[in-house]
Amino acid sequence: MRIKRTTIVAFSLLLFSAFATAKENSEWYLHSAISPDGKQVAFSYKGDIYVVPAKGGVARPLTIHSGWEGHPVWSEDGKSIAFASDRKGNLDVFIMSAMGGKARRLTFHSAQDIPQSFLDRNDEVVFTSARMDATDASIHPTARMAETYAIGVAGGTPRMVTTIATSELDVSPNGKKIVYRNEKAY
């Protein structure tokens, strides 16, 4: 049996379209975080934060905003979620109830601030930012080479936690150790 050339071309275009759509859509789902009790997953989809049961089901939006939001991080008690948003131009750290509601802005710097974890019994949010506030910072920061800071959940002035370039960090349950990916300036 002979397959017509138009059928092959049509099938090739359909296959190419499916791969292109899959690649395009795969970038919509970003930055997932599992709740401390393992029952929910927070994630970014098309620039908003959603929560879905870990067993599967309907995702519930936590943020619906014209700004981009991502990088959700759960507090250890599961009551709050910190996330990054560009609502005010650049990425700042915001915090909100894990049930939803109004988000509150914690950082106000022109650098890109990305939440990483909670610290001190959920009293602080740890985030990375290329601010180079300290005179003893070990490297020149870039968006990829950011230092680590902490800010109280009520706001205030951030304090520097590390001067070394870190990313993808987390804090031990007792708050005494930090595990992170060490960034190099290669």
pLDDT for 18 beyond 50: no
Q: pLDDT, tens digit, for every residue of 38-62? A: 999 999 999 999 999 999 999 999 9
Q: What is the pTM of this model?
A: 0.78
Q: How do strand 178-182 and strand 166-171 relate by DSSP bridges?
A: antiparallel
Q: Which range, 132-136, 143-147, 169-173, is most confident?
A: 169-173
Average pLDDT for the chain: 80
Residue pair 146/167 in contact (Cβ under 8 Å)? The answer is yes
User: CA 123 to CA 162: how far, in whole Å?
Assistant: 18
Element (H, E) at 18: helix 5-26
Supply the pLDDT for residue 30.
Answer: 83
Supply the pLDDT for residue 184.
Answer: 65
Q: Tell me the CA distances in angstroms from 51 to 74, 83, 89, one per residue in order.
A: 11, 13, 25
Q: Which residues contact 113 (CB under 8 A, 6 or more apart)?
A: 84, 90, 91, 92, 93, 107, 127, 128, 129, 149
Q: pLDDT, tens digit, for every residue of 103-144? A: 999 999 988 999 999 987 789 999 999 886 444 444 444 555
Q: Which residues contact 64 (CB under 8 A, 6 or more apart)?
A: 48
User: CA 143 to CA 114: how far, in whole Å?
Assistant: 10
Residue pair 81/75 in contact (Cβ under 8 Å)? The answer is yes
User: CA 127 to CA 160: how far, in whole Å?
Assistant: 10
